[in-house]
Structure 1
């Protein structure tokens, strides 16, 4: 497992917050990724900015991985079919919940959204319960 580097984590978190803030400040748009991807697949010409944002996310990750990372990102041993199924289920859940965990946490809480506060509290409570059960009840 890769060693945690708090400086890299702080820079990454600041970059995410800054990009969400700049997008909201200059365009009035919210940088929630599930809404971004959902709007991008409409392929409307006025939605081209969404594709540029998504390409920027992918390009930034590639730039970090192949230009700045001290060591390569660990690879996964999960089956690709299971990962695809999981991705589709997460996408379905984000549509049901009107956003994903990061969208509600970064963009929603920053806008003082009550709905996002409820969503984040629900996500975190579920995570705490899941970790407690898997670590202390099941002993995984």
Structure 2
């Protein structure tokens, strides 16, 4: 296997990690909430009275940040090996699985691990192993 170093971007990856860490830290400090995207979105379906504004602001911020990066010329267009339909289906399945498993990569992987939660460690290990196995099967066994 040969590594494609053209996509290796340590500075932007580090900046993204710092931004995610700051956002998660500020959210817990200012709102007392975990920055778990699946839980935030699920809380909008159906919305609970008095608990909507911060959730909508968070989700809009996810889209706004991508739009700002594109306007600044820093965003790259993703290359999809599969179509948009399969990508949307995969996203919905991941969201459903995250809710079924009681958390997502941001809730467990970022916030849970930073709080040294054993449950988050097990969950993060499980979804990372599932991701590695899925990529291996799809790329190397099924072609």
TM range (shorter): 0.7 to 0.9
Instruction: Measure how far apart 1:133 and its partner are.
Output: 5.2
Task: Judge which range, 59-68 or 71-80, deviates more.
Answer: 71-80
- Unpaired segments ≥5 residues, structure 2: none
Q: Distance in 2 between matches of 1:41 and 1:61?
A: 23
- 2:29 counterpart residue number: 25
CA displacement 1:77-136 (0-9 Å, x = unmatched): 522322222222112101111111232100111122221111112123334444555666
List aligned pairs for 1:66-77, cutoff 5 A. 66-69=71-74, 72-76=76-80
TM-aligned CA distance change 1:131 to 1:27, over 3 Å: same
Paired residues in the alignment total: 138
TM-aligned CA distance change 1:42 to 1:62, over 3 Å: same
State the superposition RMSD in angstroms: 2.4
Q: Distance in 2 between matches of 1:132 and 1:81?
A: 22
* Alignment equivalent of 2:102, drawn from 94, 98, 106: 98
- 2:59 counterpart residue number: 54
- Unpaired segments ≥5 residues, structure 1: none
* Alignment equivalent of 1:78, drawn from 82, 85, 100: 82
Instruction: Measure how far apart 1:44 and its partner are.
Output: 3.2
TM-aligned CA distance change 1:132 to 1:91, over 3 Å: closer
* Alignment equivalent of 1:6, drawn from 2, 5, 10: 10
Q: Distance in 1 between matches of 2:118 and 2:66?
A: 31
TM-aligned CA distance change 1:127 to 1:86, over 3 Å: closer
**Greater fraction of residues in helix:** 1
Q: Distance in 2 between matches of 1:125 and 1:45?
A: 38
